[in-house]
């Protein structure tokens, strides 16, 4: 049972919130189909249709970093309840505007932008609570099932939306989306998060939280590799999502039903991809799996540009869904497993910022290219670009964080100080002395480079290592933090993998006693 892809459903909290998420996302996809088709009706220019995608993704690009910081310093459950309630009000307003015939292209874009703002705050918080729903050994499968749920919604929502638009009218998708938020609200009200180890320190301020989150991402090799791959892929894959409404209407000569069928086909493909993914990743590994998904996406873009046939388009969309789940799920697992809990929402918000930023920028680029050069040419250029990214980003390896121990090690003793070290005092310099034999210096300096990244991930703003000119075997490592409070946070955030690096360094130490540690505070009254 532990090897089953369905293992996370054994945990009631995951099963309930996953079901609520699927219901809500069905409404979201219905809203997306309704918005895309409504814009194609109000203003069929490819650029205006592409702006629907841009209006959805741009606020996430602009706000996700702030949202991630907020999600790491407030109660994530309460945050999700408030934001989902506000989004329900926006969706209700959209339904009323369409029903009364007062919806315009500008109002539609503004409404979509507001929903995108809500999604910016939901996405990092929702992703960050997944590890609270299942044990660590089931996390990878839970992330895949999360992606599966999104794509089940993609399979159901668009197809139903296409039928409802034809039978009940244009307002129906927006009204159902408003009601679907109630499922998420009910699920969150039912859920009681497990008790977690809480810090004895006061919460970070929003700007400090942002700064520390960005610093962690900057000095985490596994996270940076994942982000490089994500940006390269999504910039070109965005052509498919941005141009699909105008492809269905103009290129294929279809209506709302065909558009819904194409999106539904993507969803069905994604479900198939989620079922295939565990076996594919076991056989090929994450890097090759993402490369296969990228190449398949390029093939789909080329097929759309060369074959203007609805049946071929449906088949190509099925392949697109399989490739999409291969790419997105693999990248999300790589990002999740590279982040400790204290910075998880912030790290994921960087991923989401670059993901949606790439999608937003790509949507504008491909919409403009299609307006100037034609839909077929734009799709061919995007296909070629997607293929080129495979060799160009191959050095950025995925899944590097899966074997890391990112739980707090709590092995640092409380610092011994005699002076009054209030939390706001700073900057703070920590100095550690090592005695290193001449033959061990190259290995010591190599480990010090790893140590530098570890210190900076946990809050150090400066770091260095110096050799004593009067005692060649004596080396001093120093790092500086902004305040004494920041140093105390560092004590709480040192991870098991950081401890392993430190132990390897200490084994090279030749002194009769452990390396000595000193803490220096800036004098009172100035820096």
CATH number reported for the structural domain that contains residue 515 in this entry: 3.30.70.100
pLDDT, residue 420, reads: 61
Q: Which of 2-16, 175-189, 443-457, 475-489 has the lowest mean pLDDT?
A: 2-16
Q: How far out from the chain centre does Cα 136 lie? A: 18
Q: Which of 16-25, 398-407, 490-499, 505-514 has the lowest mean pLDDT?
A: 398-407
Could you report the per-residue pLDDT of 93-128, keeping only the tens digit for each? 999 998 988 888 888 899 999 998 998 898 888 888
Q: Is the pLDDT of residue 504 over 90?
A: yes
Residues 135 and 276 in one domain: yes
In a domain, 411, yes or no: no
In a domain, 402, yes or no: no
d(CA 114, CA 86): 10
Give the whole-number percent of the chain exceeding pLDDT 90: 36
pLDDT, residue 329, reads: 85
* DSSP track, 384-448: HHHHHHHHHTTTS-S-TTTT---SB---SPPP--SS---TT---EEEEEEEEB-GGGHHHHHHHH
Domain interval for residue 281: 9-191+205-392
Q: How many domains does the chain have?
A: 2
In a domain, 500, yes or no: yes
Residues 356 and 448 in one domain: no
d(CA 135, CA 122): 22
Q: Is residue 2 very low, low, confident or very high in pLDDT (cuts 50, 70, 90)?
A: very low
Task: Mention every residue, 6+ apart, whose C-beta is less than 8 A from residue 170.
Answer: 34, 37, 38, 41, 98
Sign of CA dihedral 385, 388, 392, 398: positive
pLDDT, residue 424, reads: 77
Q: Is residue 423 very low, low, confident or very high in pLDDT (cuts 50, 70, 90)?
A: low
pLDDT, residue 417, reads: 64
Residues 259 and 315 in one domain: yes
The packing angle between helices 172-190 and 76-99, to 10°, is: 160
Q: Is residue 421 very low, low, confident or very high in pLDDT (cuts 50, 70, 90)?
A: low
Residues 106 and 178 in one domain: yes
pLDDT, residue 416, reads: 67
Mean predicted lDDT score pLDDT of the chain: 86
In a domain, 179, yes or no: yes
pLDDT, residue 1, reads: 40
Q: Which of 20-34, 134-148, 493-507 has the lowest mean pLDDT?
A: 134-148
Provide the whole-model pTM.
0.77
Q: In terms of pLDDT, which residue wins out, 297 or 165?
A: 297
pLDDT, residue 404, reads: 85
Residues 439 and 348 in one domain: no
Residues 15 and 145 in one domain: yes
Q: Is the pLDDT of residue 87 over 90?
A: yes
């Amino acid at each position: 049972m532990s090897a089953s892809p369905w293992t996370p459903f054994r945990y009631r909290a995951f099963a309930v919130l996953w079901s609520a998420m699927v219901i809500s996302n069905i409404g979201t996809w219905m809203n997306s189909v309704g918005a895309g088709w409504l814009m194609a009706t109000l203003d069929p220019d490819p650029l205006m249709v592409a702006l629907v995608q841009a209006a959805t993704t741009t606020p996430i690009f602009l706000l996700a970093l702030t949202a991630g910081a907020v999600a790491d310093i407030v109660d994530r459950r309460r945050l999700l309840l408030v934001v989902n309630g506000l989004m329900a009000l926006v969706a209700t307003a959209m339904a009323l505007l369409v029903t009364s015939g007062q919806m315009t292209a500008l109002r539609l874009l503004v409404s979509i932008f507001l929903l995108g703002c809500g999604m910016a705050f939901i996405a990092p918080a929702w992703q960050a609570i997944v590890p609270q729903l299942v044990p660590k050994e089931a996390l990878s499968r839970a992330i895949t099932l999360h992606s599966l749920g999104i794509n089940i919604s993609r399979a159901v929502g668009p197809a139903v939306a296409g039928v409802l638009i034809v039978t009940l009218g244009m307002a129906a998708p927006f009204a159902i989306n408003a009601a679907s938020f109630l499922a998420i609200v009910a699920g969150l009200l039912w859920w009681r998060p497990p008790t977690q180890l809480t810090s004895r320190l006061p919460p970070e301020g929003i700007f400090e939280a942002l700064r520390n989150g960005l610093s962690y991402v900057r000095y985490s090799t596994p996270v940076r590799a994942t982000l490089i791959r994500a940006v390269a892929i999504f910039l070109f894959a965005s052509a498919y999502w941005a141009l699909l409404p105008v492809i269905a209407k103009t290129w294929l000569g279809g209506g709302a039903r065909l558009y819904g069928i194409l999106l539904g086909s993507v969803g069905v493909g994604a479900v198939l991809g989620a079922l295939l993914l565990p076996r594919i990743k076991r056989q090929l590994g994450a890097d090759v799996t993402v490369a296969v998904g990228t190449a398949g996406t390029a093939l789909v873009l080329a097929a759309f540009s060369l074959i203007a046939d609805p049946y071929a388009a449906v088949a190509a969309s099925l392949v697109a869904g399989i490739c999409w789940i291969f790419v997105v799920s693999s990248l999300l697992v790589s990002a999740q497993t590279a982040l400790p809990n204290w910075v998880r929402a912030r790290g994921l918000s960087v991923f989401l910022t670059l993901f949606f930023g790439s999608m937003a920028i790509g949507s504008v680029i491909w919409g403009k290219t299609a307006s100037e050069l034609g839909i077929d040419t734009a799709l061919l250029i995007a296909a070629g670009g997607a293929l080129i990214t495979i060799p160009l980003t191959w050095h950025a390896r995925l899944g590097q964080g899966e074997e890391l121990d990112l739980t707090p090690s709590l092995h640092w003793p409380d610092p011994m100080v005699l002076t009054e070290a209030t939390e706001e005092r700073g900057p703070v310099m920590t100095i550690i002395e090592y005695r290193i034999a001449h033959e061990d210096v190259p290995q010591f300096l190599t480990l010090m480079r790893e140590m530098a990244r570890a210190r900076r991930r946990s809050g150090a703003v400066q770091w260095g290592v110096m050799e004593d000119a009067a005692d060649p075997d004596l080396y001093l490592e120093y790092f500086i933090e902004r305040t004494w409070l920041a140093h105390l946070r560092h004590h709480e955030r040192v991870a098991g993998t950081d401890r392993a690096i430190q132990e390897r360094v200490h084994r090279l130490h030749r002194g009769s006693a452990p390396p000595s540690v000193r803490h220096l505070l800036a004098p009172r009254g100035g820096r």
